[in-house]
Amino acid sequence: MNEIVIKTSEETAPTIQTPKQSQDSLSETIKTLGLPQIQRHLFLCADQTNPKCCSKAVSLEAWDYLKRRLKELGLDQVTEAKPSCIFRTKANCLRVCMAGPILVIYPDGVWYRQATPHVIERIIQEHLIGNKIVEDYAFCNHPLPQKFVPAFGSQTLDDNPSSHLDHEIIEQKTE
Ligand code: FES
């Protein structure tokens, strides 16, 4: 029988599960995290192995602020009144490597520079809640194609008619 090794964290030893057990575990995790209810997913360059866009301390301050504010505002949780949530992920490097912390929001495809706590608060209030790009800090706008829903094993990205969208560069404004 095939076995899958799952390492749950650096502190715990890997556990060995059968494919059926691992699918059951994943199904439970999908439910707990509310993955099907994600409305937007934020990636923030933070805690970098090789800090380039900003210092590690600045990135971690931004990351802690983002996590705390999403939680305080209840944006990271699904509720009966609000059946969608915002997901956030700490990225080691988003490859822009300047003017950080760099933050990108999907599926909107809006990239932000200098995402310090003050800017993150504006992004939360104006972009996440108000659905309006914070143009003072956005430097690229490239929404991902939204109509393509891949079916397991039957389609490839080449079938996606909207996968070659142009992107728009937002003029960087000086402060
Ligand atoms: S180090 Fe932040 S984008 Fe590369």
Pick the CATH number of 37-141 from 3.40.30.10, 3.30.70.930, 3.40.605.10, 3.40.710.10: 3.40.30.10
Please indicate whether residue 73, judged by its CB atom, sits closer than 6 Å to ligand 1: no
Centre of ligand 1 from the C-alpha of residue 128, in Å: 23
Give the pLDDT band of residue 137 (cuts 50, 70, 90): very high
pLDDT of residue 165: 42
- Run of H or E residues at 33: helix 19-33
- pLDDT tens across 8-59, in order? 555 566 677 888 888 888 999 998 888 999 999 999 999 999 999 999 999 9
Centre of ligand 1 from the C-alpha of residue 173, in Å: 20
Please indicate whether residue 93, judged by its CB atom, sits closer than 6 Å to ligand 1: yes
For residue 5, pLDDT over 80 is answered with no
- The least confident of 78-92, 143-157, 158-172 is 158-172
3-state secondary structure of 128: helix
For residue 158, pLDDT over 60 is answered with no
Please indicate whether residue 96, judged by its CB atom, sits closer than 6 Å to ligand 1: yes
For residue 161, pLDDT over 60 is answered with no
CA pair distance 151, 145, nearest whole angstrom: 15
For residue 164, pLDDT over 90 is answered with no
For residue 154, pLDDT over 60 is answered with no
- pLDDT tens across 66-101, in order? 999 999 999 999 888 888 999 999 999 999 999 999
Centre of ligand 1 from the C-alpha of residue 154, in Å: 35
pLDDT of residue 80: 85
CA pair distance 30, 123, nearest whole angstrom: 27
Determine if the pTM surpasses 0.85. Answer: no
Contact 110/140 with Cβ under 8 angstroms?
Answer: yes
**Structural domain boundaries in the chain:** 1-33, 37-141
